[in-house]
Amino acid sequence: MNENCCLAPWYSIYIGEMYVKPCCLWSTNTNADLHKWSDLQDIENMWNSEEIQRARQGFLDGIFPKQCHNCLQKIVPRKNWLDQKIGNYKDEKDLTLTPPLKPIQVDFQLGNKCNLQCMTCGSWGSCNWAEDDAKLNEINKDFDRLPLPDYNLDVSKFKDCKEMFEKIARFDFKGGEPMVQNSMIEMIENLVEWGYAPKIILAYVTNGSYINEKIIELWHSFKEVRLILSVDGTFELFKYIRGYNFGKLVENLSVYDEIENVKGLYNVTVSTYNFLDIGKINNWIMTRTFKRFPCFYSGGELSFETNVVNPPYLDVKILPRIYKQKALENVKYYNHSNTSNFVKWIESIIDIPRNEKMLKLFVSFTKYMDKKRGTDFLNIKPEYTDLFEEYS
Q: Within a domain: residue 185?
A: no
CA distance 90 to 84: 10
Q: Report d(CA 335, CA 29) in Å as an integer.
A: 42
Same domain, 277 and 351: yes
Whether 154 and 238 map to the same domain: the answer is: yes
Report, in this order, helix, strand and coil percent for the chain, each rounded to 5: 50, 10, 40
Indicate whether 323 and 269 sit together in one domain. yes
Give the pLDDT confidence score for residue 31 in this predicted structure.
Answer: 47
**Angle value at C-alpha 24, between 112 and 90, nearest 5 degrees:** 130
Residue 221, burial from CB neighbour count under 10 angstroms (0-12, 13-18, 19+): middle
Last residue of a domain, one of 49, 79, 109: 109
Confirm whether 213 is domain-assigned.
no
Does residue 227 share a domain with residue 127? yes
Asked whether residue 214 is domain-assigned, the answer is no
109, 125, 141: which is the final residue of a domain?
109
Total structural domains within the chain: 2
Q: CB-based contacts of 199: which residues, under 8 Å, 6+ apart?
A: 169, 223
Quote the pLDDT of residue 254: 95
Q: Do 224 and 370 belong together in one domain?
A: yes
The residue ranges of the chain whose pLDDT is under 70 are 1-5, 28-36, 73-101, 295-303
Do 140 and 30 fall into the same domain? no
170 and 154 in a common domain: yes
Check the CA dihedral 384-387-389-392 and report its sign.
Answer: negative
* Omega before residue 87 within 30° of 0, cis: no
Please give the DSSP secondary-structure letter assigned to residue 176.
Answer: S
**Is residue 174 classed as helix, strand or coil in its secondary structure?**
strand
According to DSSP, the residues that pair with 48 across neighbouring strands are: none
Domain span at residue 83 reads 1-109
89 with 231, same domain: the answer is: no
Instruction: Please state whether beta strands 19-21 and 35-36 pair in parallel, antiparallel, or not at all (unpaired).
Output: antiparallel
Does 25 lie in the same domain as 81?
yes
CA angle at 214 for the pair 211 and 215, rounded to the nearest 5°: 70
The pLDDT of residue 297: 46
- Is the residue at 224 inside a domain? yes
In 236-284, at which residue ranges do the beta strands (DSSP E only) sit? 262-267, 269-270
Residues 95 and 136 grouped into a single domain: no
Give the DSSP H/E element, type plus range, for residue 202. strand 201-206
pLDDT at residue 134 in the model: 96
Q: How far are the Cα atoms of 69, 142, 147 from residue 138, in angstroms, in the given order?
A: 29, 10, 11
